[in-house]
Structure 1
Amino acid sequence: MTRGRLEAFTDGVLAIIITIMVLELKVPQGGAFEDLTPLLPVFGSYVLSFIYLAIYWNNHHHMMQTVKQVSGSILWANMHLLFWLSLIPFVTGWMGENQFTTASVFLYGIILLCAAIAYFILQTLIIRDHGKDSILAKALGKDIKGKLSPVLYILGITGVFVNVWIGGLFYILVAVIWLIPDSRIERTLKDELPE
């Protein structure tokens, strides 16, 4: 399979996931601004999940620019990542509709952690297939953000049992860390590829 086909499939799945999430936003019965108030938790969880999906889409796009050939293991690792990302609409809706209960924020964190692990597996398999001197391996370097994120997710997952907002703050912190533009792959591609 070509890299382009894998990217197109992933793009399509992520577009469907975002569409499912936005369809969960129900229009209020009233026409006044105060009628929107009950939707704030649902909208807040939607915004956070949308940001996460945008981060995954951006990072996946950049990572795929380093791929020369797609092996069977890369295909399955990509499907593994999409599985966890496809559960985001469910946990987003459950969390928002139930006003951020301990169980819903806990499960949200578990899904985020599993997606991060799946992304790491995909990244690792690409490096294994392309070699330790590959563009991706060079670009990632020590990958501090990649190693820090699961630790923060675990702190958030355990923190929800103290207070759900502690868990939520850790999840937001990971999103903020990844929202800061990461030009490692772009920079390495520019250095490695002929003009």
Structure 2
Amino acid sequence: MGDLDDLDNARATRSDTRRAEAFSDGVLAIIVTLLVLDLRVPDVEPGHLLPALLAQWPGYVAYVASYAYVAVVWLNHKAAFARVRETDRGFHWANLFVLFTTALLPFPTAVVSRALQEENTSDQRVAVALYALVGALLCLSWTVFFQYLARHDDLVAEAVDRPFFRGERLRALGGVILYGVAGVVGFLVAPLVALAVFVVLPVFYGATSAGIYSLRSVARRLTGP
């Protein structure tokens, strides 16, 4: 009877994905809104607005980069939930971890923007290391997210190949490693190297938002039969 009771309790905590998706979309929309708050009107004398606006270019670059990053998170989130048919308490916590780390993005974005505008190399090294740390945490949260689904395939839609989320887990783990390396190199060697990695990784995760195996199908279409 004990095992049956545990099974009934587990089933009672399950639901469809609609509320989790709606909540996640709302959180990501707020994060995107927060990113723009770091773009400010310069406080300058009349006639000096244009050079002051141009001097804020790091803020524009940081905004575009982080907006694209949140967009990639949304695309990956949407693709993952398209393969999930039910949620449970553990899955909700894994999803909340992803949202928690994504919500941190506006802070390092503002720090990097400020450091680049002030042109202090020491501060730039610290800023890119902070951004790399948050990027690594974000990828770690996806690793936990995919690991949970890989171990609870009863939550996954029947049409999904069972190894799919194990492959996605490795894709996210690669980001943890690369962001960590970028942070170390940016702090010890050159901040611009880290910035280059920050641009390339979201592009990669955007291109593979349907799964790492989507790259194979793209390659097959490009090379022909």
TM-score (normalizing by structure 2): 0.74
Instruction: Tell me how far 1:34 sits from its aligned partner.
Output: 2.2
What secondary structure does 1:70 align onto?
Answer: coil
| CA distance 1:149–1:43, change in 2 (3 Å) | same
Q: Which runs of 5+ in 2 are unaligned?
A: 1-14, 117-122, 215-225
| CA distance 1:122–1:24, change in 2 (3 Å) | same
Question: 1:154, 1:68 → 2: CA distance?
Answer: 33
Task: State the partner residue of 2:189.
Answer: 162
Which segment drifts farther, 128-137 or 34-43?
Answer: 128-137
Instruction: Tell me how far 1:127 sits from its aligned partner.
Output: 2.2
Task: State the partner residue of 2:174.
Answer: 148
Question: 1:110, 1:122 → 2: CA distance?
Answer: 18
What secondary structure does 1:172 align onto?
Answer: helix
One-letter identity of the residue aligned with 1:110: L
One-letter identity of the residue aligned with 2:36: V
One-letter identity of the residue aligned with 2:178: L
TM-score (normalizing by structure 1): 0.85
CA RMSD of aligned residues (A): 2.5
Task: State the partner residue of 1:192.
Answer: none
Within 5 Å, which residues of 2 pair with 1:67-146?
A: 67-99=84-116, 101-130=124-153, 135=160, 137-140=162-165, 142-143=167-168, 145-146=171-172
User: Could you say which structure has the larger radius of gyration?
Assistant: 2
What secondary structure does 2:152 align onto?
Answer: helix
Q: Which runs of 5+ in 1 are unaligned?
A: 188-195
Residue-pair matches, total = 187
| CA distance 1:136–1:115, change in 2 (3 Å) | farther
What secondary structure does 2:56 align onto?
Answer: helix
Which segment drifts farther, 152-161 or 59-68?
Answer: 152-161
| CA distance 1:133–1:20, change in 2 (3 Å) | closer
What secondary structure does 1:98 align onto?
Answer: helix
* Residue 179 (structure 2) pairs with residue 179 (structure 1): no
